[in-house]
């Protein structure tokens, strides 16, 4: 069933997450109207924090929302990595001054910043889309809200992790660094968001069949503390003292790089962006920034380039199916290789950490040094102007 109020809209975005809101904002900046349909009753404010790296900041600057986010967060100076495999712990420091601006941003702050510049009524909450179908008569898509069919992103490989915050009313005193500890398949990280707030995460292959456990923050915290026994006391203390309601369990899913390479990302005038197109492993922390690049800049730019000349109030020209398809094809072409490279680097880095086999580790190292000699080239990427 197509909901009447959505019938005549030119651009409908399904999902009010980072990518959906960035797309709506970019379109708005280009003078194009859209509506965002979000299934939750409010825009999702949970989900901890995400690291925004230089490419993400460039994209947020273009969208005009970076300065407020910057003022809320500490710029990190380095990564301090501790490896606990084998005998003696090994330490490594990565200086971020050569890499550029890296800050952890609360997901809720990012969502709010993107949403608050949108015209009233752009975001419609409580609208779950169950299917997108192509109308046989008009060949335009219709959105189905309740026919019981569920579209699922295919070929997603699962893993899991826990995120949380620890608040220090008198300041945490942590260095401006990401403290990351790795042992076998477990990775724990702690990083300051601001002077009072630390964000932490633990990635581990949890058995999340027990749904009660994954909904109870106390049980989640206990489970995490069990997992990180033997990790640096600093990390354990942070998690031990976390805000009691903050630990949340996340299923981390990723799309394999070869699926991104071969995927079809347009059906008629419908396309995908963000995690639906390229969910990635968290090892290079690029899912969010890539999502803002995708839709926030690339898709909106391609649409605007195609339609700006013809866009007018009665929208007649805008509705040319061929033009929309061409704009989407340009966007997919613009993004595909960028996303394949990000997903490949993320996949190889993840396998290097996860695999227990020396031979596989060696192969990953060879592939990483062959394809990604400059490990941080991806953060220097410039997605261009809006």
Ligand X SMILES: Cc1cc2nc3c(=O)[nH]c(=O)nc-3n(C[C@H](O)[C@H](O)[C@H](O)COP(=O)(O)OP(=O)(O)OC[C@H]3O[C@@H](n4cnc5c(N)ncnc54)[C@H](O)[C@@H]3O)c2cc1C
Residues that bind ligand X (CB under 6 A): 14-20, 37-40, 44, 50-51, 127-129, 161, 163, 250, 252, 274-275, 282, 285-289, 291
How near is the Cβ of 251 to ligand X at its closest, in Å?
8
How near is the Cβ of 342 to ligand X at its closest, in Å?
10
- Smallest CA-to-CA distance from 324 within 118, 153, 138 is with 138
Q: Longest C-alpha distance within the chain, in Å?
A: 71
Nearer to ligand X, 28 or 361 (CB): 28
How near is the Cβ of 287 to ligand X at its closest, in Å?
2
- Smallest CA-to-CA distance from 50 within 212, 255, 287 is with 287
Alpha-helical segments (H) within 98-193: 107-116
Q: Which residue is nearest to ligand X (CB)?
A: 17
How near is the Cβ of 323 to ligand X at its closest, in Å?
25
Please return the burial class of 269, using the count of CB atoms within 10 Å of its CB with bins 0-12, 13-18 and 19+: buried
How near is the Cβ of 336 to ligand X at its closest, in Å?
16
How near is the Cβ of 314 to ligand X at its closest, in Å?
29
Q: SS3 string of 351-372?
A: HHHHCCCHHHHHHHHHHHHHHC
Nearer to ligand X, 44 or 75 (CB): 44
Nearer to ligand X, 121 or 169 (CB): 121
DSSP class per residue in 28-86: HHTT---EEEESSSS----S-EEEE-HHHHHHHHHHT-HHHHHHTSPBP-EEEEEE-SS
HSE of 44, CA atoms in CB hemisphere, 13 A:
16
How near is the Cβ of 86 to ligand X at its closest, in Å?
27
Nearer to ligand X, 192 or 282 (CB): 282
141-144 and 131-134: which strand pairing? antiparallel
Nearer to ligand X, 307 or 378 (CB): 378
d(CA 323, CA 145): 27
How near is the Cβ of 127 to ligand X at its closest, in Å?
6
d(CA 276, CA 58): 23
Nearer to ligand X, 178 or 386 (CB): 178
Nearer to ligand X, 145 or 368 (CB): 145
d(CA 125, CA 142): 18
Nearer to ligand X, 202 or 386 (CB): 202
Please return the burial class of 342, using the count of CB atoms within 10 Å of its CB with bins 0-12, 13-18 and 19+: buried
């Amino acid at each position: 069933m197509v909901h009447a109020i959505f019938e005549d809209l030119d651009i409908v975005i399904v999902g009010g997450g980072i990518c959906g809101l960035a797309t709506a904002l970019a379109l708005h900046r280009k003078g194009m109207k859209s509506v965002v349909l979000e299934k939750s009753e409010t825009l999702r404010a949970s989900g901890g924090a995400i690291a925004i790296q230089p490419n993400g900041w460039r994209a947020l600057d273009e969208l005009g929302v970076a300065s407020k986010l910057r003022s809320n967060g500490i710029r990190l100076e380095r990564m301090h990595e501790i490896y606990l495999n084998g005998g003696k712990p090994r330490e490594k420091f990565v200086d971020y001054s050569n890499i550029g601006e890296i800050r952890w941003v609360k997901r809720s702050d990012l969502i709010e910043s993107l949403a608050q510049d949108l015209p009233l009524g752009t975001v419609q909450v409580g609208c779950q889309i169950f299917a997108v179908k192509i109308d046989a008569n008009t060949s335009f898509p219709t959105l189905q809200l309740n026919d019981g069919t569920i579209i699922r992103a295919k070929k997603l490989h699962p893993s899991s992790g826990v995120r949380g915050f620890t608040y220090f009313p008198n300041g945490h005193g942590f260095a401006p660094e990401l403290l990351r500890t790795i042992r076998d398949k477990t990775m724990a990280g702690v990083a300051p968001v601001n002077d009072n707030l630390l964000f932490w995460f633990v990635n581990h292959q949890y058995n999340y069949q027990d749904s009660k456990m994954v909904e109870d923050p106390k049980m989640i915290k206990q489970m995490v503390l069990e997992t990180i026994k033997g990790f640096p006391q600093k990390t354990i203390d942070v998690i031990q003292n976390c805000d009691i309601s903050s630990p949340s369990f996340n299923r981390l899913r990723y799309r394999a790089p070869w699926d991104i390479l071969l995927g079809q990302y347009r059906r008629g005038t419908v396309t995908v962006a963000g995690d639906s197109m390229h969910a990635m492993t968290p090892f290079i922390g690029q899912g969010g920034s890539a999502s803002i690049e995708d839709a926030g800049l690339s898709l909106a730019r391609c649409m605007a380039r195609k339609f700006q000349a013809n866009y007018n109030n009665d929208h007649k020209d805008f509705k040319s199916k061929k033009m929309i398809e061409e704009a989407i094809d340009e966007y997919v072409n613009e993004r595909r290789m960028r996303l394949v490279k990000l997903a490949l680097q993320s996949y190889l880095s993840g396998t290097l950490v996860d695999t227990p086999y020396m031979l596989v580790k060696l192969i990953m190292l060879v592939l990483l040094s062959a394809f990604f000699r400059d490990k941080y080239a991806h953060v220097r990427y410039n997605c261009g102007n809006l």
